[in-house]
């Protein structure tokens, strides 16, 4: 089962390599990992999607927590989190197929962001399951290239990860 873990880390050199190294050497799976700055430029947020049983995910959390650069960690349940992924997908679509691809994109609320005589590039941001569905539906049109960001997520409602910087 896929689980989403939100991790606040110090925004400094080497942190990403420490996190990915940790997953590799402890034999944990990473389905996706997205990282970017937060409202505080000294802090980055990593959203990690990993699969494993309860014991494995608990270990992932503990090992991540143990890292000196980790500030706060929280597991986000699918039902209580807004999860999004961005995809750019370039499909083969000449004059005859353009209309069909544009129709599919429209159903998803996706945008066509680039066009050539033989291809269309579709951009879409949605829940990861919906992104998978979009890919499935576009597969018959010969997918040339795909770029996905990996999932980012925030808790629904007023709740946050609850990190309060400690005063030095």
Partner 1 sequence: MITGAQALVAALKKQNVNIIFGYPGVAICPFYNELSASGIRHILVRQEQNAGHAASGYARINGRPAVCAATSGPGAVNLITALATAYMDSIPLVAITGQVSSDLLGRDVFQEADITGAAEPFTKYSYLVKDPADIPRIVNEAFYIAGTGRPGPVLIDLPIDIQQAEFDETDVPDAQHLPGYNPTTKGHKGQINRVVSAIKRAKKPLLCIGGGVISANAQNELRTLCETAGLPAVSTMMGLGALPTTHSNYFGMLGTHGHPYANYAVQQADLLIIIGARVGDRAVSAPEALGRRAKIVHIDVDPAEIGKNLGTTIPVVGDAKTVLDQLTQTGAKANCGIWMDDLDDHRRLYRPDLDPRPNGGINPKGFLRTVSLAMENDSIIVGDVGQNQTWTAGNIMMRGGKFLTSGGMGTMGYSIPAAIGAKLADPQRQVVAVCGDGSFQMSMCELATAVQHNVPIKIIVMNNHSLGMVLEYQTQQYNGNHFAVELGSSPDICALAAAYGIPSRCVTDDSQTDEAIRRLLDQPGPALLECRISPDEASR
Binding footprint of partner 1 on the chain (CB under 8 A): 9-10, 13-14, 17-18, 21, 25, 55, 58-59, 62-63, 65-71, 165-166, 168
Q: Which helix (H) or strand (E) holds 107?
A: helix 98-108
Q: Closest distance between partner 1 and the C-beta of residue 44, in Å?
A: 12
Pick the closer one to partner 1 by CB: 19 or 101. 19
Beta strands in 54-142 (DSSP E): 70-76, 81-92, 111-115, 119-126
Pick the closer one to partner 1 by CB: 12 or 106. 12
Q: Closest distance between partner 1 and the C-beta of residue 22, in Å?
A: 9
Q: Closest distance between partner 1 and the C-beta of residue 18, in Å?
A: 7
Contact 86, 125 (CB under 8 A): yes
Non-local (6+) Cβ contacts of 10 within 8 A are 42, 43, 44, 69, 71
Q: Closest distance between partner 1 and the C-beta of residue 130, in Å?
A: 34
Pick the closer one to partner 1 by CB: 2 or 18. 18
User: Within the chain, where are the H helices?
Assistant: 15-25, 54-66, 98-108, 128-138
Pick the closer one to partner 1 by CB: 50 or 119. 50
Cα–Cα dist 101/18, whole Å: 41
């Amino acid at each position: 089962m896929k689980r989403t873990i939100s991790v606040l880390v110090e925004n400094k050199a080497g942190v990403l390599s420490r996190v990915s190294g940790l997953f590799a050497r402890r034999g944990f799976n990473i389905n996706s990992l997205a990282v970017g700055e937060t409202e505080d430029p000294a802090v980055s947020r990593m959203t990690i999607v990993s699969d494993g049983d309860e014991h494995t995910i608990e270990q992932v959390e503990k090992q991540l927590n143990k890292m000196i650069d980790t500030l706060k960690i929280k597991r986000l349940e699918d039902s209580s989190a807004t999860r999004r992924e961005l995809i750019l997908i370039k499909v083969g679509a000449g004059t005859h197929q353009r209309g069909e691809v544009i129709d599919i994109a429209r159903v998803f609320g996706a945008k066509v962001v680039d066009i050539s005589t033989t291809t269309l590039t579709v951009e879409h941001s949605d829940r990861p399951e919906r992104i998978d569905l979009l890919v499935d539906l576009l597969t018959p049109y010969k997918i040339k290239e795909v770029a996905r960001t990996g999932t980012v997520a925030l808790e629904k409602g007023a709740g946050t990860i609850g990190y309060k910087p400690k005063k030095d």
